[in-house]
Structure 1
Amino acid sequence: MAEAADREDRTEEPTQKRLDDAIRRGDVAKSQEVSTFLALGAMTLALLLAGGWSGRALTLDLRHFLGNAHLVPDGPGAMLAAGRRALLVGLQAAALPVGFLMVAALAAGLLQHRPLWTVEPLKPKFERLSPGAGFKRIFGLQALGRFGKGLLKIAVVGVVAGVALWGERERLEALVTLEAADLVRVMTQVALRLLGLALAIYAVIAIGDYVVARFSWMRRLRMSKQELKDELKEQDGNPEIKAKLRQIRAQRLRRRMMAEVPKATVVVANPTHFAVALRYEAGQAAPVCVAKGVDELALRIRSVAEEHQVPVVENPPLARALHAAVEIDDEIPVEHYKAVAEVIGFVLRLKRRAS
């Protein structure tokens, strides 16, 4: 009852911090069917690339051994040498499939979540020693769901494999009459067909199972309103997060200022240190500051203004005074009306002369 009530309280989607914390603990959305699909694909690729070669090598080695069995000494040394030879051939034939399976196992994890190094899943969890928890894991709803899903997969794959083999029944009946090399070739073809059908089925199963696993993971990590409030309070009190937020706000303000500079009427500046972009249109009570900056930012404002043919008027005292007195999107103070009016009048006269 308590767990059910707790799940009902968790109505909010998990924050990025909660998701990152879960991933660091090794708690990730993972589907076993994706791993199975990639393992099947690896086996199919290995059989396609090396099935013929491996089959021929095994056939030739077996034929040579059986054809010359009477020449093999019956001492223990000779039998040991024959065993080593058979083991070497078997390892050569299995090297490529095993290598592909290892790559598939690694790719299954990388496709579902980013690379992760953690020892959290290896730590002992004493709550798992509880008989009640163990019974629930074995006979609970999730266990029954996995059991039903497994039966459904077996049924679907079995039906498809049966249909495919039924179409090959005449070839399969003739296998007993074939030479060893032809037998390997036919069996390879049949195996590739079955694996291809299984891959097509498992592609759909893997996609569906991963979507369900991802949904279940996100649902399990949902937060209550109180947990969300507590996390926001914790983040607001973190100096690093505050500094990052200030940096983000400064970057956004700078981008917005740079976008407004081409619309300015004039940029008041001193040679290098200060720049204030003002916009004035007929009907406004006073000019408005659309951008301002010092040093590098001031040079950038001047550069953008010159690129868009916005007049730049050098007036060091007025530039310093405006930079200290006015904020972005605010009208200039009354005490600077006269000086700014002279600058804007000068700019307008220049425009009229130019036109």
Structure 2
Amino acid sequence: MEKRYLLVLDLQFFSGEKTEKATPQKRQESKRKGQVAKSPEVPAAMIMLGGIMLLNFWGGWMLDQLLAIYRINFSQYIAWEWSPINIRNLFEQMTFNAIKIVAPIMAIAMVSGFLGNYIQVGSLFTTDPLKMKLERLDPIQGAKKIFSMRALVELVKSLLKIAIIGFAAFSVLWSEKEELFLLSQKSIGYSLSFIGSLTLKMATVSAIILLCLAILDYMYQKYEFEKGIRMSKQDIKDEYKKAEGDPLIKSKIKERQRQMSMNRMIQDLPNADVLITNPTHYAIAIKYDAETMAAPMVIAMGKDHIALKIKEKAKELEIVIMENKPLARALYHQVEIGDYVPEELFLAVAEVLAYIYRLKGKIK
């Protein structure tokens, strides 16, 4: 039984089943392509709610502007003579009046739509969804999308939204049924005011319900998006290889870097004054010029087989090799190639250099 269970797990692994959460790199790549969790119901609900709030605060002013347009049309413009100049002036004046009324509605719609998208996906600008892709013209794939489970879910959502909002609007009307039946006995002004307030109330209730449904739809879209960008274990491994590089290629690059570093050290080695060794584990080449350098400098160093190569090259160049285990170990762990000898080791290195210079007869 246990072997069968392990076999099933292995089959799932090699089948590439997408069971793992998406990595940050995968999420960033999806966002660059415009693939994000977004519900179109959220901006629609916010546009509707913003429009209702605008009518609630500025509805009286907009009504006055409309009545003023009707008054001036039937009191002044109707008496004008038909001429090209008058027609042009009439067109310009009516266009300006219309823009003055419509502009606040358009502005609040644009701001509400922008906020509805921004709170879902944040700042995002990409042209990838606009690119021409031949697979989008595939009729088979198009038919699959039309008759897919997702299309069925969207249809059910739309029907439920219509049913819920319709029931809410009917409930508002039903609560005012007695007043509606008495409108025939009221004045025209009162009837228009009542119908306007009732319409605004129905729209407000519908907008609030639509906003609640939009939040639920966003949660569903978020779930579908997370499900769609899941990755298999093999996908995660491939992404790691792509981000970090193939281990084989990385090892070759490191080997190439080590070889280049070794070649540079061998080229600089003839300038060394002394080679301090461990004697088999470490090798550090020291150079010092009292006229141009403030302190001795390490120009080559290595460990194990690199140290052995440096020693062999130093023998060919007839560089003095001095065994000093503590000093070699300390230099290897504290200094990099091209660094000056630190102060705490300066005295020990100076003694070694003085001994070398005495050997070469540079100092008495």
TM range (shorter): 0.5 to 0.7
Displacement of 1:47: 0.9
Q: Compared with structure 1, are the counterparts of its residues 54 and 236 closer, same or farther at alpha carbon in structure 2 (3 Å cutoff)?
A: same
Alignment partner of 2:74 out of 66, 72, 75: 66
Aligned to 1:118: 126
Alignment partner of 1:108 out of 101, 116, 125: 116
Instruction: State the alpha-carbon separation in 2 of the partners of residues 7 and 160 from structure 1.
Output: 49
For 1:91-144, what per-residue CA distance to the aligned partner results, in whole angstroms no more than 9, with x for missing partners? 111111100111112112210112112111111111111111111222322222
Instruction: State the alpha-carbon separation in 1 of the partners of residues 38 and 30 from structure 2.
Output: 13
Tell me whether 28-37 or 8-17 shows the greater mean CA deviation: 8-17
1:37 equivalenced with 2:45 (yes/no): yes
| Number of positions where the alignment pairs a residue of Structure 1 with one of Structure 2 | 242
1:129 equivalenced with 2:130 (yes/no): no
Q: Compared with structure 1, are the counterparts of its residues 75 and 174 closer, same or farther at alpha carbon in structure 2 (3 Å cutoff)?
A: farther
Tell me whether 161-170 or 216-225 shows the greater mean CA deviation: 161-170
TM-score by length of 2: 0.58
Alignment partner of 1:91 out of 77, 90, 99: 99
Displacement of 1:167: 3.3
In the alignment, is the contact (CA less than 8 A) between 1:30 and 1:210 conserved in 2?
Answer: yes
Q: Which amino acid aligns with 1:206?
A: A
Alignment partner of 1:164 out of 169, 172, 180: 172
SS at match of 2:203: helix
For 1:161-186, what per-residue CA distance to the aligned partner results, in whole angstroms no more than 9, with x for missing partners? 12212334565567789888766644
Of the two, which has the highest radius of gyration?
A: 2
In the alignment, is the contact (CA less than 8 A) between 2:16 and 2:233 conserved in 1?
Answer: no
Alignment partner of 1:52 out of 46, 60, 80: 60
For 1:194-229, what per-residue CA distance to the aligned partner results, in whole angstroms no more than 9, with x for missing partners? 222012211220111111101100100000111112
Q: Which amino acid aligns with 2:21?
A: E
1:151 equivalenced with 2:168 (yes/no): no
Instruction: State the alpha-carbon separation in 1 of the partners of residues 80 and 129 from structure 2.
Output: 53
Displacement of 1:50: 1.4
Q: Which amino acid aligns with 1:32?
A: P
Aligned to 1:259: none
Instruction: State the alpha-carbon separation in 1 of the partners of residues 71 and 38 from structure 2.
Output: 46
Aligned to 2:230: 222
In the alignment, is the contact (CA less than 8 A) between 1:59 and 1:181 conserved in 2?
Answer: no
Tell me whether 167-176 or 218-227 shows the greater mean CA deviation: 167-176
Q: Compared with structure 1, are the counterparts of its residues 56 and 197 closer, same or farther at alpha carbon in structure 2 (3 Å cutoff)?
A: same
SS at match of 2:34: coil
Alignment partner of 1:194 out of 175, 193, 202: 202
SS at match of 1:136: helix
Instruction: State the alpha-carbon separation in 2 of the partners of residues 172 and 72 from structure 1.
Output: 43
Instruction: State the alpha-carbon separation in 1 of the partners of residues 59 and 49 from structure 2.
Output: 14
Gap regions ≥5 residues in structure 1: 243-320, 326-355
Q: Which amino acid aligns with 2:207?
A: L
Q: Compared with structure 1, are the counterparts of its residues 57 and 74 closer, same or farther at alpha carbon in structure 2 (3 Å cutoff)?
A: same
In the alignment, is the contact (CA less than 8 A) between 1:52 and 1:188 conserved in 2?
Answer: no
TM-score by length of 1: 0.59
In the alignment, is the contact (CA less than 8 A) between 1:37 and 1:206 conserved in 2?
Answer: yes
SS at match of 1:116: coil
Gap regions ≥5 residues in structure 2: 1-12, 251-328, 334-364
Instruction: State the alpha-carbon separation in 1 of the partners of residues 187 and 84 from structure 2.
Output: 32
Q: Compared with structure 1, are the counterparts of its residues 6 and 233 closer, same or farther at alpha carbon in structure 2 (3 Å cutoff)?
A: closer
